[in-house]
Amino acid sequence: MWLLPTIACCGLLTWASFLYVGVRARRRAWLAASAGYGVATVVYLTIVQTAPESADGTADTSGWRGIAGTVFILGVWLGGCVHALIINRQWLDFLATQPEAGPLPPVAATAVSPPAPVPAPPPPPRVHQAPPPLDEPWRTFMARALAAQREIATSVANTSPGPMRDRLELVAGRVETVLQECWQLALDGQGLARARLRIDNVAIGRELRQLRDHAPSPSLTETTEALQAQLDTARRLEAEVATTYDGLLLMNAQLGAASASVIELSARPQRLNDVAAVESDLDSVVDELVAIRHGLNELDG
């Protein structure tokens, strides 16, 4: 149907046909052709309107202006028809890619859906994940460990395929185990630190000093022992927090050293035997973190 104005109107509406398909298909070339045919139509109308009038007041088509205008518009008409037939195939291809409007799908009968399963709790942080919301300094320990893991993963990805890359991929797997232990130990350290903050040893010490001014009695002795037990608990928690802190500090340093070694080995594939030392160091890190956690559990027991 879009060809009809071009064919039936002797070229005067060729611009409209190309404008229609150009807008629909968003083709700049067709819009430019529409502008060109529009200019040609304006030129033809200008030629006709400026032609001299005959005795009866109509335009004199026998002069050179009338002949030139007729030849010009015929050329525009024929050229537009040929041009339209050439792009018609492209227009049909465009229409074939457009979704057809059809009837809406039938609405299924309303049914009671089973309850959605409860999602599983999120796993501990893995590579490229931000550390969980931890207090300081535990958040910094996790952030540094994740940064070291990302460096190792990047180095492995940049290593050329071969035996070295295969071994470094195993190293990256060991780093994942280190991060699992780091995550658990950071949670333990945060819990211990929060528990320690709940014991006001300053107030407890003040009460103990006040009790010294009272006369000795069995109840006073029991009160003193209870207050002293609270101070002992605070000191024990402080020691456990310090042990956890030192372990994570060492872990960060060892992970940094492992990351530097992997970076170097990724650029030296001939040093395959040196990978064993990195693997051994990472295994030692895991053993140390596990030992710290077991020690804390024994103290709790």
The string of DSSP codes covering 129-146 is PPPPS--TTHHHHHHHHH
Q: Which residues pair with 212 in a beta bridge?
A: none
pLDDT number for residue 12: 73
Q: Which residue has the higher pLDDT, 19 or 117?
A: 19
Pair 229, 204: CB distance under 8 Å? no
Pair 41, 12: CB distance under 8 Å? yes
Sign of the C-alpha dihedral, residues 163, 165, 171, 173? negative
Proportion of the chain above pLDDT 90, given as a percent: 16
Pair 298, 191: CB distance under 8 Å? no
Is the N-terminal amide bond of 137 cis, ω within 30° of 0? Answer: yes
Does residue 150 register a pLDDT over 90?
yes
The identity of residue 201, as a single letter, is N
**The pair of three-digit structure tokens given for residue 172, joined into one six-digit string:** 């990256």
Among 72-86, 114-128, 235-249, 262-276, name the one with the lowest average pLDDT. Answer: 114-128
pLDDT number for residue 109: 45
**The pair of three-digit structure tokens given for residue 299, joined into one six-digit string:** 């103290």
Burial of 40 (0-12, 13-18, 19+ CB in 10 A): buried
Q: How many CB atoms lie under 10 A from the CB of residue 154?
A: 15
96: pLDDT confidence band, cut at 50, 70 and 90?
low
Among 16-20, 69-73, 161-165, 231-235, name the one with the lowest average pLDDT. Answer: 69-73
- Of 58-67, 73-82, 165-174, highest mean pLDDT: 165-174
Does residue 266 register a pLDDT over 90?
no
Q: Which residue has the higher pLDDT, 89 or 130?
A: 89
Cα separation, 177 vs 173, whole angstroms: 7
Cα separation, 205 vs 57, whole angstroms: 122
Pair 277, 174: CB distance under 8 Å? no
Instruction: Please report how the helices 64-97 and 28-49 are oriented relative to each other, as an axis angle in degrees rounded to 10.
Output: 160
Cα separation, 168 vs 161, whole angstroms: 11
Cα separation, 45 vs 31, whole angstroms: 21
- Our measurement of the distance from residue 297's CA atom to the centroid of its chain's CA atoms, rounded to an integer in Å, reads 39
Proportion of the chain above pLDDT 70, given as a percent: 76
DSSP state of 159: S
76: pLDDT confidence band, cut at 50, 70 and 90?
confident
**23-58 pLDDT tens trace:** 877 788 878 877 887 777 777 777 777 766 666 656
Q: Average pLDDT, whole number, for the chain?
A: 79
Does residue 88 register a pLDDT over 50?
yes
